[in-house]
Amino acid sequence: MGIKSELGQKIRRMRQNRGMTQEELSEKVNISQRTLSGIETGENFLTAETFDNLIAALNTTYEDLFATNHYKSPEVLVAEIDSVMKLLIETENFHDLEILYNVAKSLIKE
């Protein structure tokens, strides 16, 4: 995977994690939704000005945007969360299991 695709995927994840649509983010960054879509798919690369605007609109840093090792695939995350839950059950640590449940539940936007 090239830098354009990797960066585009990171931008998409950050946008989605912040509950933003492409339309909302593109307006904040002052680019068209089509241009943002191209950036997210790795078809387009962003200009320095767009890059600065994205950093501000996503309320992030250059370092976080270019960090490549702290995001795991959804499949890996689900497997790891499942392992943690099973361990909490096996050790009868129901208090922490309930905390984990409450944290996960609080992340769901209804």
Instruction: Tell me the CATH class for 3-66.
Output: mainly alpha
Helical spans, DSSP H, in the chain: 3-17, 22-29, 33-41, 48-57, 62-66, 74-90, 94-106
| pTM recorded for the entire structure | 0.60
Domains of the chain by residue range:
3-66, 74-106
Tokens of 69: 């090792």
SS3 63: helix
* pLDDT single digits (tens) 13-50: 999 999 999 999 999 999 999 999 999 999 998 889 99
Cα-flanking dihedrals φ and ψ of residue 34, to 5°? -65, -40
Dihedral of alpha carbons 41, 45, 49, 52, sign: positive
Cα-flanking dihedrals φ and ψ of residue 16, to 5°? -65, -40
* pLDDT single digits (tens) 42-89: 999 888 999 999 999 999 988 888 776 656 778 888 898 999 999 999
